[in-house]
Chain A
């Protein structure tokens, strides 16, 4: 079930609205500049392959803040504390990638609230691209919360 409410209140099993991301050469090149990585595999393609999407783009655009339904109360900020990432296949420029998010775990650790979010990236042909288990926490001037 897709809900739109502040991310820090979301509970295990809740999902954010999926994102359908169409990676254009222009968007890919924006990230190549940001990452200072202009390898030809991301521009013209190599070894007979089409150009690949830079992994930095995929990671950034699959952060849960990118979901169309992501919302966070204004006094909160979301911090990326860590993650486990599996790289399954490179994504191709010019193809659509669908990104899904599901809250997998919530807990308190050393007085701080954490969420783990399972993230799947699959391209328009059904090819799995990447799996992530994102660990996030929140910063605020007044975080008072218990795990629900």
Chain B
């Protein structure tokens, strides 16, 4: 359950559940709807040959797949109302490959206002099993 917003302190960090980007979940996310005849649709997220053809050594997970992991963590921290006012500005500095394990992290870097009107400025990122950042940015809650 989300905490009261006034309870957060600057410097406080949160970590999401580890998520493994398995082949099954890559295909399910990026292969198109299950009821398409050609599922899973071949693209650089689902097919090694398609990835190789555009110069990638391996398939690359869609950034929106692990952006979704980060959103899950933000909702866990700030509550589902975050989906009605939250925002984020992010970049994907490295590729996530099949089999990678991803952790989402959030750090409170500043606060404005008081009580339930407080606005939090956050550093957000996702990192892989090697600690390499694959998503970096900021968010507001």
Contact = CB atoms under 8 A, between A and B. Distances in A.
Contacts of A85: 67, 87-90
Q: How large is the interface on A (under 10, 10 to 19, 20 to 34, 35 or more residues)?
A: 35 or more
Interface string B47-76: 000110111100010111101110110000
Contacts of A89: 83-84
Contacts of A86: 86-87
Interface string B76-111: 000010111111111110000000000000000000
B65 A34 contact: yes
Contact of A60 (B30, B80, B91): B30
B87 A84 contact: yes
Contact of B90 (A26, A27, A35, A83): A83
The majority secondary structure among interface residues of chain A is mixed
7 contacts: A26-B35, A30-B28, A37-B72, A59-B67, A76-B54, A89-B84, A140-B54
Interface of A: 26-27, 30-31, 33-37, 39, 41, 46, 52, 54-56, 59-60, 63, 65, 74-77, 79-90, 135, 139-141
